[in-house]
Structure 1
């Protein structure tokens, strides 16, 4: 396999999809920077794959005020960074039919982890990516923002996790606008890629994170199978793709493909209509 990227920052790489994808990238020749809160797991990843192929930075993505400084430090140490994989996520049950049992603090934390932290991280790293693709020596240099989203952000069928579903829906809407804003701003070389996984066998569903489930780690597609499919999708180069049951939604005739077509048709119409009102 030829490397997809020169150097990738993988947000949320201490377990699950992030760790598996980071390992896959290394095996294909991409250098990686793995991040997460658990230093011991980050150290174990670097030890396993070698310091020539991997480095690690421990930080908490929910500490939004700290993210600009983290981004500056990473860019200073890794000026060749050309890909950021935004993968961190939490999923918790909330039953609003029993409002007395709903922790709005936990609900808010989920929105920060799954959505707002990504907005803050992208905002912090975009100046670097813009410089990278705009430099006179860049030539055909591209940069990549890869978002691990969720099919539940398109159709929220897992009713027990309304916070997760809403956070992924917000993320999807924002990604769609981000991609278009970068194109409109002349930064089409910054590729914005959104991946819609199915349920995958990770810590997301285990007893620690969802204590009302039993054998939750067995829910979904095996992690190795998913990782291979995601890498294959990244190789194809589409702006967005799904894995598993949601695949038809993004194919020709699927409802999400139709929605994207409507967006592409309506965006220039709305933009032109607003022009006379803009200062």
Structure 2
């Protein structure tokens, strides 16, 4: 087997693009997600291009499901070299006094607890092998806040803090820890945030050239491809037309 990368939330957007990018650079790929049909399509695409692929369907919010899937990997898939904690979402865009607790729980359980469940499981093998690379997909929302982004911003601030904490914890075990923080990327992100309202979601990306998933996959590959003594701690990546989480130059 080649080096192995495990990517959560691989059924669309940044996760899918990252799977394609790493597979194209010689990695065997473990893809995870909640949508079996999409996992099957991506698995077939990767295999047609010559990659070895293991597809696992589970929800990172489900601690037992994570442990069952990742704690019982086939022997040939257990030596995960790169973990990309990509699974995450925003749900809703309301002031805190009008927030929906279902949205809050969904974001906290996915963006924070899901990342923890997966990392705990996979890092055990990295520690025993004294090598590995954990890449957390954060956000510009983890560096600053914006109106009505309250809980989403809080979860991504948590990812920022967890990434720094992981770096201390995993340092003695020769494990790299990287955070990639995108600005506006046109994926399913806004469609999910607005609960399927495509008209509202499309408006987020009007009037400027936003990032696409491939742009972030390129950044992930750059971090992964550095020599063993080099770690990219933190990378903030935004469109040229974006100056902060909420300031854009739109035409």
TM-score range, shorter chain: 0.7 to 0.9
The residue number in structure 2 matching 1:204 is: 189
Q: 2:166 aligns with which of 160, 175, 178?
A: 178
TM-score relative to the length of structure 2: 0.82
Q: Give the secondary-structure state (helix, strand or coil) at the position aligned to 2:29.
A: strand
The residue number in structure 1 matching 2:19 is: 22
Contact 1:204 1:217 in 2 (8 A): no
Counterparts of 2:201 and 2:169, CA distance in 1: 43
Does residue 228 in structure 1 map to residue 218 in structure 2? yes
Does residue 154 in structure 1 map to residue 153 in structure 2? no
Q: 1:191 aligns with which of 167, 170, 176?
A: 176
Contact 2:29 2:53 in 1 (8 A): yes
Over 3 Å counting, the alpha-carbon distance change for 1:79 and 1:214 in structure 2 is closer
Counterparts of 2:169 and 2:61, CA distance in 1: 25
Contact 2:4 2:28 in 1 (8 A): yes
Q: After superposition, give the CA deviation of every residue in 1:177-226 in whole Å (9 maximum; x if it has no partner).
A: 1211222xx21x11111111111010001276363824157363123333
Does residue 33 in structure 1 map to residue 30 in structure 2? yes
TM-score relative to the length of structure 1: 0.75
Over 3 Å counting, the alpha-carbon distance change for 1:222 and 1:182 in structure 2 is closer
Counterparts of 1:123 and 1:145, CA distance in 2: 11
The residue number in structure 2 matching 1:65 is: 64
CA shift for structure 1 position 88: 0.7
Moved more, 193-202 or 62-71: 62-71
Counterparts of 1:198 and 1:210, CA distance in 2: 21
- Within 5 Å, give how 1:1-279 maps onto structure 2: 6-50=3-47, 52-74=51-73, 76-96=75-95, 99=97, 101-133=98-130, 142-157=131-146, 159-183=147-171, 186-187=172-173, 189-206=174-191, 209=195, 211=197, 213-216=200-203, 218=205, 220-236=210-226, 237-244=231-238
Asked which structure has the greater CA Rg, the reply is: 1
Higher relative contact order (CA 8 A, sep 6+): 2
Over 3 Å counting, the alpha-carbon distance change for 1:46 and 1:216 in structure 2 is farther
Structure having the higher helix fraction is 1
Ranges in structure 2 where 5+ consecutive residues have no aligned partner: 245-251
CA shift for structure 1 position 233: 4.2
Contact 2:136 2:159 in 1 (8 A): no
Contact 2:134 2:176 in 1 (8 A): yes
Contact 1:203 1:217 in 2 (8 A): no
RMSD over aligned CA atoms reads 2.6
Q: After superposition, give the CA deviation of every residue in 1:122-171 in whole Å (9 maximum; x if it has no partner).
A: 112222111122xxxxxxxx3011111111101113x2222111000011
Counterparts of 1:171 and 1:233, CA distance in 2: 18
Q: Give the secondary-structure state (helix, strand or coil) at the position aligned to 1:88.
A: coil
Over 3 Å counting, the alpha-carbon distance change for 1:201 and 1:9 in structure 2 is same
Ranges in structure 1 where 5+ consecutive residues have no aligned partner: 134-141, 250-279
